[in-house]
Amino acid sequence: MTGSNRLMTAIVCHGPEDYRVEQVERPSAGPGELVIKVQACGICASDCKCWSGAKMFWGGEGKPSWVKPPVIPGHEFFGVVDEVGEGAAGHAGKFKIGDRVIAEQIVPCWDCRYCRSGKYWMCEVHDIYGFQRQVADGGMSDYMRLSTRALVHRIPDEIPLEDAAIIEPLACAIHTVNRGDVQLDDVVVIAGAGPLGLMMTQVARLKTPKKLVVVDPIEERLALARRFGADVTINPTTQDAPAVVRALTEGYGCDVYIETTGAPVGVVQGLDMIRKLGRFVEFSVFGKETSVDWSIIGDRKELDVRGSHLGPYCYPIAIDLLQRKLVTSAGIVTHSFALPDWDRAIGIANSPESIKVLLQPAA
């Protein structure tokens, strides 16, 4: 394949608010690698924060930029194998042309102390698709290359496109709920009913807690949370959320608080409404720093504060839950755009008008 046939459409990140629709060279599979034809790629909240210039991604104040442009963004992708690289190593022999597959968002180095001990999601090198081109570009393109170091999973044909497109965030949701160690007699609060919060609601319901509470300022999202199994929903713009939770728990507060708002108020609210010795799980990527009274964590409540990062060992679980129809994308995936409609897609993804926005390359 030569000339214009080797070109494809892609979104290319050149800097904050400088993402362009371009014609770029289509990737080729090296030894043991795969090239997939992308079927869909979600726009994540972290993509929105990266696009808008959040310091976490672009550095500043003496910190280097984590993003290395020019790079094709996108880590919530799946596709169909289009090319299999030669050789016995890597993915050659494991997958064939036509297989529906997804790669985990991180490409582990497999050599650092975390990778060697099985904690690959905390890899010290920490290459993630869509942020640094030296590993591989992301999924906002017609085709993408999967590294020989990638963790690749097969997707059953019967899983519909919209469900397949949420496997990555669903894996993150599963890991987060698991970090909460939800017990049968727990009152669980999920703060934020965006895509991740709504998936966490579905997963937490499968843990059958005593009471499942979801907090969000958008009534339409609260209605969806109730459909997904929330026992109680709270709109913090019209209700005193900590007071409602204390009323549900004889004044003590919730047992588990999962923070997925990405806003500082979500952290402060959680420290207020969680009981002593409770489990506070932090998932969000923040666009700015958060200040809290740190003594609440130790001196006043002795909280168990747990972070949650990526979706380690959870992709097969996510695929199984979707295949068994125990979790759904229905109501979560609200918009879909072609790649050339990038400007409109990111505008809607970065607004309350949408929940999950997908980019779909041309067939």
Q: Which domains does the chain have, with CATH numbers?
A: 3-166+329-359 (3.90.180.10), 173-307 (3.40.50.720)
Place of tokens 């409609």: 341
Helix and strand tally (H, E) in the chain? Answer: 11, 17
- Position 284 scores a pLDDT of 92
Q: Closest Cα partner for 212 from 240, 236, 193? A: 193
The first and second tokens of residue 259, run together, are 């923070």
Tens place of pLDDT for every residue, the chain, 363 residues? 444 578 999 999 999 999 999 999 999 999 999 999 999 999 999 999 999 988 888 877 767 788 889 999 999 999 999 999 987 667 877 999 999 999 999 999 999 999 999 999 999 999 999 998 766 799 999 999 999 999 999 999 999 999 999 999 999 999 999 999 999 999 999 999 999 999 999 999 999 999 999 999 999 999 999 999 999 999 999 999 999 999 999 999 999 999 999 999 999 999 999 999 999 999 998 877 889 999 999 999 999 999 999 999 999 999 999 999 999 999 999 999 999 999 999 999 999 999 999 999 987
Place of tokens 């607004």: 351
Identify each DSSP E strand in the chain by its residue range.
Answer: 7-15, 18-25, 34-43, 76-84, 100-103, 106-107, 127-128, 143-146, 152-154, 187-191, 211-215, 232-234, 254-259, 274-282, 304-307, 333-337, 356-359
- Position 287 scores a pLDDT of 75
- Position 58 scores a pLDDT of 82
- Position 3 scores a pLDDT of 47
- Position 55 scores a pLDDT of 83
- Position 5 scores a pLDDT of 73
Dihedral over Cα of 167, 332, 128, 23: its sign: positive
- Position 88 scores a pLDDT of 62
Tell me, what DSSP letter sits at residue 110? S
d(CA 290, CA 263) in angstroms, rounded, equals 8
